[in-house]
Amino acid sequence: PSTLVVATSFEGDPASLNMANALLDRADWNKVSACDGGHIWQSAENCDVHLWLRTDSMLLHDEIDRKFEETMDLTLSDMIFLSKHASKQGLPALTVHPIGNPGRSDAQAGGKPGLCVPPSPRIAPLYRRLHSAVRGSDLSEDFPVSLEATHHGPWVHTPSLFAEIGSSEE
């Protein structure tokens, strides 16, 4: 099974593109396919890791995991979505959260009303690693690390998480 990292170059989410570019710069990747106006890379070091850089918003693409599996003829074990974090207060943060709309009768931000995607087994390890990295850095005063409640889509069948940075372009 493979891990899929999903990011976007969509103008409303510059943090996603920045995180994707950081991944592409820090390891060797091979561009393996064009799909849905985006590109899919495969890690040269771990062929079970793929990065799909899309050109549109990720929240409304229900069953994007099935699209990837059909296109690449692979089975996914988990997915990591890279995105901006937005808060009403505009406070910066690094967040990790599962996906879904529990207790909601609508799904205005994607997904299915009242349903949650299976959570990625990477949520707790990623949270601990982020917390540890920030604690020992200059970011500790400005970027608290938090586990956020699930509150948006997309709907996928594969265990998933969102990793976010925000809350403004600065």
Residue 89 has pLDDT above 80, yes or no: no
- What pTM was estimated for this model as a whole? 0.92
Residue 168 has pLDDT above 70, yes or no: no
Instruction: Give Dmax over CA atoms of the chain in angstroms.
Output: 45
- In which band, very low, low, confident or very high, does the pLDDT at 9 lie, cut at 50, 70 and 90? confident
Arithmetic mean of pLDDT over the chain: 88
Question: Please, what is the Cα angle at 52 between 48 and 56, to 5 degrees?
Answer: 160
What's the confidence (pLDDT) of residue 47?
93
**In DSSP terms, which residues pair with 82 in a beta bridge?**
163
% residues pLDDT > 70 (the chain): 97
